[in-house]
Amino acid sequence: MSLYSTLRRNSEPTMADIEASFDGNLCRCTGYRPILDAAKTFACDRHACSKPPAGFEGETADPKAEGDAMVCSSTASALSKVSAVAAMQKPPFPQALLDPDAVSPTPLRVVGGRVTWYAPSDLATMLALKKAFPQAKLVAGNTEVGIETKFKHCEYPVVISTAGLAALQRLSFDQSGALVVGGAVTLSTLEHYLAHELQQRPRGAMSGL
């Protein structure tokens, strides 16, 4: 998903752009080397690293090297054998994700053999569910539950998702100039919001953040 969103924003990313797009992601299975090497085949400068890294096969390190040259991996030479990605029609992006505020959230309840999953559509319903099920697990990104259940042997018969709550997705500045961030705002959303605000506000106006 990180690579997909990067390519949607920029059809010709550099290898440095691709590496930056994976910042903050966790990979507990293969590690990042094969993922990054595959992702870099989409880079516009993938052939710039066709030579071995500095220090190998007679190459010497260049202390003045900057930018994309510093992101070449030891297997980057394989990228020189990869042809450009064939032009194709861009896969459709769900309209609801382009403008989530335009879609009315629908409350959900999914009942399984051992777990009941609730996805309330408003804060009042979520609070009512939490009152009815005090031991329920609140999840947003839901990245930690797998670790807790598998290794810590935790059990959560009732799970409540907060991802669809508009009240927890808000980003704004209050009257004092403080930034108010909802509890379910993703880091990528916050990053894009701040980048936009930095462009719109006078220089130094957000230095206190």
pLDDT band, residue 67 (cuts 50/70/90): very low
CATH classification code of 2-81: 1.10.150
pLDDT band, residue 40 (cuts 50/70/90): confident
Residue ranges in 60-144 assigned as alpha helix (H): 95-98, 123-132
Whose tokens are 């010497």? That residue is 60
List beta partners, residue 117: 110, 159
Cβ contact 61:55 at 8 Å: yes
Q: Model confidence over 69-93: pLDDT tens digits?
A: 445 555 555 555 555 454 445 656 6
What gap in Å lies between CA 159 and CA 43, rounded to an integer? Answer: 40
Residue 86 is predicted with a pLDDT of: 46
Q: Model confidence over 153-198: pLDDT tens digits?
A: 888 999 999 888 888 888 888 888 788 998 888 888 898 888 888 8
**Which of the four CATH numbers 3.30.230.10, 1.10.1760.20, 3.40.50.300, 3.30.43.10 does domain 97-167 have?**
3.30.43.10
Per-domain residue ranges of the chain: 2-81, 97-167, 170-200
Record the tokens describing residue 188, joined without a space. Answer: 């990528």
What gap in Å lies between CA 206 and CA 3, rounded to an integer? Answer: 30
Q: How many CA atoms lie within 13 A of 1 on its CB side?
A: 6
